[in-house]
Amino acid sequence: MSTNPQSDQAGRVVWHQGSWQLEAESVTLPDGTVVERAYVNHPGAVVLVPLLGNTVLMLAQYRLPFKRTMLELPAGTRLSDESWLACAQRELREETGYRAARFTPLGEILPILSYSNEVLAIYLAEELTPDPLPMDADEQIEIRPMSLMKLIDMAHNGDLQDAKSIVAILRAARHLNAF
Amino acid sequence: MSTNPQSDQAGRVVWHQGSWQLEAESVTLPDGTVVERAYVNHPGAVVLVPLLGNTVLMLAQYRLPFKRTMLELPAGTRLSDESWLACAQRELREETGYRAARFTPLGEILPILSYSNEVLAIYLAEELTPDPLPMDADEQIEIRPMSLMKLIDMAHNGDLQDAKSIVAILRAARHLNAF
């Protein structure tokens, strides 16, 4: 492999939105060309598989980039100084109205390598009891309980399209020996 | 579900990079608040599972957002007016030096719902013969052939972190009845 591109300076923020920024850097390529490259600088997020019996609490959530409602697992961005587990508990309560007595980590995934440094930590959430927190004002969310077996099929056959949800469902299924 | 946020105007481009732009829109929330929200407007990309016997041609590629080399499948962004299949063939030749006589579509996934409208089309690429195209000048890529069975394990146990590669490997494995 040739020499990696060298980053010449700290990123300059070209857009700031909530917890993330788009940051641009000047990069010198191996042939000497200098180009500017930007990526989303992100604090990381959690994705949750909340399990009630054989049912997973999925969400129907409006997503502006697609101008439509998408089927996905509960997920949310980490606050500054918030631990991953505290983030998991808070987002679960905000988005589903339940707290979990048991969280099992199922690894971390990187949703986009080319223009974001976001890391997503996956947790299986079990032993759920009602304990809601208020939802974010700008979120449009409806809970859709679905069977784990049906979701495994949808993850494989393409009916489930959200990448984080596909990976989290298949990791949870494997952990639970559901296939 | 409450009324979806209304987009008030066409997006204004706040950053342009290669084939994608970051576009900002004014959005009116159900409570009347007007906020600005930006997302990556992306032409779509392909992710490829190039199979040579029981070996998958993985890549080690330097990724600026993580400042390190990542293990991932070949992938690339669609040119304007390029068909998905033409994009798949071009990216395969550029990144691996092979052409495929057979492409099998394995569905589409959405890597990020909250700040990008990117769609990734997955293809299994088989019946490979050498037929290279020049690589993009700013890409730092090395081919890493790996066994499909090992990659399936890595997709499950967390050793493979790139979300698109995890989903594509598990879809290919299922298609090939490899597990």
Complex confidence, ipTM:
0.92
* A67: contact with B, CB 8 A cutoff: yes
Q: Is the pLDDT confidence value at A2 over 60? A: no
Judgement on whether residues B115 and B35 belong to the same structural domain of the protein: no
Do B81 and B11 lie in a common domain?
A: no
Average pLDDT over residues B117-144: 92
Q: Please check whether residue A106 is in contact with residue A123, taking contact to mean a CB–CB distance below 8 angstroms.
A: yes
Q: B22 and B59 share a domain?
A: no
Q: Which residues does A30 contact at the CB level (< 8 Å), separation at least 6? A: A2, A3, A5, B140
Q: In the structure, what pLDDT confidence band is assigned to residue B9 with cuts at 50, 70 and 90?
A: low
> Per residue in A118-136, pLDDT tens?
999 999 999 999 998 888 7
Separation of alpha carbons B124 and B175, rounded Å: 9
Is B11's Cβ below 8 Å from some Cβ in A?
A: no
Per-residue pLDDT at B27 exceeds 50: yes
Residues of B in contact with A123 (CB under 8 A): none
d(CA A102, CA B49): 36
Specify the residue for token string 């998958």.
Answer: B56
Asked if A15's CB is within 8 angstroms of B69's CB, the reply is no
Considering the domain boundaries, does residue A154 fall inside one? Answer: yes
Instruction: Evaluate if residue A9 carries a pLDDT over 60.
Output: no
Chain B interface disruption, residue of A13, A23, A31, A64, most B CBs within 10 A: A64
Q: Say whether B4 and A38 touch across the interface (CB within 8 A).
A: no
Structure confidence at residue B170 (pLDDT): 97
Residue B151 to residue B165: CA distance in whole angstroms: 9
Q: Answer yes or no: is A170 within a domain.
A: yes
Residue A11 structural domain: 6-41
- What confidence score (pLDDT) does residue A106 get? 97
Residue B1 in any domain: the answer is no
Task: Summarize the confidence of residues A159-164 as an average pLDDT.
Answer: 98
Instruction: Taking the CA atoms of A152, A59, A106 and A178 in sequence, report the sign of the dihedral they define.
Output: negative
Per the prediction, chain B carries an average pLDDT of: 92
Which of B14, B140, B170 comes nearest A5 by C-beta?
Answer: B140
Question: Which residues of chain B make contact with A37, given a CB cutoff of 8 A?
Answer: 17, 64
Which of B22, B137, B161 has the CB atom closest to A110's CB atom?
B161
Establish if A1 belongs to a structural domain. Answer: no
* Residues 105-164 in A contacting B (C-alpha not used; CB under 8 Å): 106-118, 120, 137-138, 140-142, 156-158, 161-164
Range name among A97-106, B2-11, B53-62, B114-123 with the lowest pLDDT average: B2-11
- Single-letter amino acid, residue A127: E
**Rounded CA separation A31/A5 (Å):** 10
Q: Is some CB atom of chain B closer than 8 A to the CB atom of A101?
A: no
Residue-wise pLDDT tens digits, A25-40: 999 887 888 989 999 9
Q: How far apart (Å, rounded) are the C-alpha atoms in residues B15 and A15? A: 8
CATH of the domain at B147: 3.90.79.10
How confident is the model at residue A17, as a pLDDT?
92
* A54 shares a domain with A26: no
Angle at A79 between CA B64 and CA A71, to 5 degrees: 80
The domain tally of chain B equals 2
B76/A110 Cα distance (integer angstroms): 17
Question: DSSP 3-state assignment of A151?
Answer: helix
* Stretch B20-37: mean pLDDT: 91
Residue A113, domain member (yes or no): yes
Number of H helices, E strands in chain A: 3, 11
A44 dihedral zone (left: phi>0; alpha: psi -120 to 50; beta): left
Mean pLDDT (chain A, rounded): 92
pLDDT at B148 over 80: yes
B88 band by pLDDT with thresholds 50, 70 and 90: very high
Collapsed DSSP state (helix, strand, coil) of residue A90: helix
Helix (H) / strand (E) element for A33: namely none
Is the same domain home to A36 and A111? Answer: no
| pLDDT bucket at B178, cuts 50 / 70 / 90 | confident
CB atoms within 10 A of CB A137: 10
Is the domain of B87 the same as that of B163?
A: yes
Among B147, B53, B114, B112, CA closest to A164: B112
When pLDDT is averaged across residues A96-115 and rounded to a whole number, the result is: 97
Q: Identify the helix (H) or strand (E) that includes residue B148.
A: helix B148-157
Q: Which amino acid is at A147?
A: S
Question: Do residues A32 and A49 both lie within one domain?
Answer: no
Q: Is residue A75 part of a domain?
A: yes
Burial B141-152 (b: 16+ CB within 10 A, else e): beeeebebeebb
Residue showing tokens 């995934």: A109
**Residues B72 and B98 placed together within one structural domain of the fold:** yes
The most distant pair of C-alpha atoms in chain A lies apart, rounded to whole Å, by 59
A79 and A128 inside one domain:
yes
* A55 and A24 housed in the same domain: no
**Shared domain check, B51 and B33:** no
CB of B27 within 8 Å of a chain A CB? The answer is yes
pLDDT value for B3? 41
Cα angle, residue A123 at apex, residues A179 and B150 outer, rounded to 5° = 50
- Report, as an integer, the average pLDDT of B77-104: 96
pLDDT confidence of residue A139: 75
Burial of A68 (0-12, 13-18, 19+ CB in 10 A): exposed
Report the alpha-carbon distance of residue A14 to residue B55 in Å, rounded.
Answer: 42
Is residue A8 pLDDT above 60, yes or no? no
Q: CA angle, corner B46, sides to A179 and B109, nearest 5?
A: 40
In a domain? residue B77: yes
Same domain, yes or no, for B21 and B59? no
Domain-embedded: residue A98: yes
d(CA B132, CA B145): 17
